[in-house]
Amino acid sequence: MAKPDDRSDNAEKLKRMAQQTAENLEEAEQYLDEHADEISAMEKQDIAAKNERRRSSISGFEEEAQDESNNAE
């Protein structure tokens, strides 16, 4: 028998994922600041592109968390 679909903690999980992604973004930016003169232009571009995807993900997580919170009420 299938488990019931329990979404009661989805908003909290999404908020946690947004926070973790924001922390990763900050770490990558600090890495770029500290090592910009030591890494290749390609690696800089890769990190910058990944950070853009992280920003997009954070926005998506926050929107989903808000939707989950609204649906839980």
How close are the terminal C-alpha atoms of the chain, in Å? 28
- Locate tokens 């908020």: which residue? 15
pTM of the predicted structure, to 2 decimals: 0.83
- Tokens 């920003």, located at residue: 55
Q: How many CA atoms lie within 13 A of 13 on its CB side?
A: 6
Q: Say what the pLDDT of residue 73 is.
A: 64
What's the token pair of residue 65?
A: 């968390």
Q: Would you state the pLDDT for residue 2?
A: 75
Instruction: Please report the pLDDT score of residue 51 as a whole number.
Output: 97
In 3D space, the residue among 26, 45, 24 whose CA is nearest the CA of residue 34 turns out to be: 26
The neighbour count for residue 54, using CB atoms within 10 Å, is: 19
* pLDDT digits 0-9 by tens, 27-64: 999 999 999 999 999 999 999 999 999 999 999 999 99
Report domain extents, the chain: 10-72
